[in-house]
Amino acid sequence: MKFASGDVRRLPDPRDIASVTTPPALRAVLDTNLVIRLLITPFGITGRLLTEATNRAFRLVTSELLIEEVITSLQYPRLQKYGPYSRHDLHRIEGVLRRTAVVVPGHYRDLDKVPTDVKDNMVVACALEAGAQYIVTDDRRDLLPLKVIRCPGFQPVQIVRPTAFLRLLDS
């Protein structure tokens, strides 16, 4: 996959995953829509996800490109009404994400696991790169129907709704 900068990125070799993951713990990628919802209204289900991540019930994982997507999305006029978010606010949000999550570099190339929305491939690639067991999302159209991502050389990644993930953490 080529990016605006002309940069070409690939998924890492699965043998290199140990260098970017934390000790054995449940790892999960929150889809960008959940991260944004958490920032706008840190209550309810999304608030519980934040609490569980903070309490280390699971290890939140993200990538450089997912952080960039969150920051870019928060600048959209339809989301600015919840802020508005100044440059300083956006910088603080980026810092919180970097301190709260394990941030993987985000190597993406030739990954085509989400045929209905190619932008969601970066969420899947982040999970594979980090060795995450789960992608947590409310994306009923593109991600949830996939249920499990299987990619040779990587452990399967389950795609679940926030409520199902919280039930899993409670069990």
Q: pTM (2 decimals)?
A: 0.83
Q: Which helix (H) or strand (E) holds 62?
A: strand 59-63
Cα dist from 35 to 30, 67, 150, 162, whole Å? 6, 9, 24, 12
Q: Given pLDDT bands bounded at 50, 70 and 90, which one contains residue 114?
A: confident
Between 156 and 117, residue with greater pLDDT: 156
Is 14-170 a domain of CATH 3.40.50.1010? yes
Residue 152: pLDDT over 70: yes
* pLDDT tens-place string over residues 123-144: 999 999 999 999 999 999 999 9
The rounded distance, in Å, linking the Cα atoms of 124 and 134 is 10
Task: Annotate 47-84 with b (16+ C-beta within 10 A) or e (fewer).
Answer: ebbbebbeeebbbbbbbbbbbebbbeebeeeeeeeeee
The rounded distance, in Å, linking the Cα atoms of 53 and 9 is 29
Q: Given pLDDT bands bounded at 50, 70 and 90, which one contains residue 63?
A: very high
* pLDDT tens-place string over residues 15-57: 444 444 434 489 999 999 999 999 888 888 999 998 898 888 9
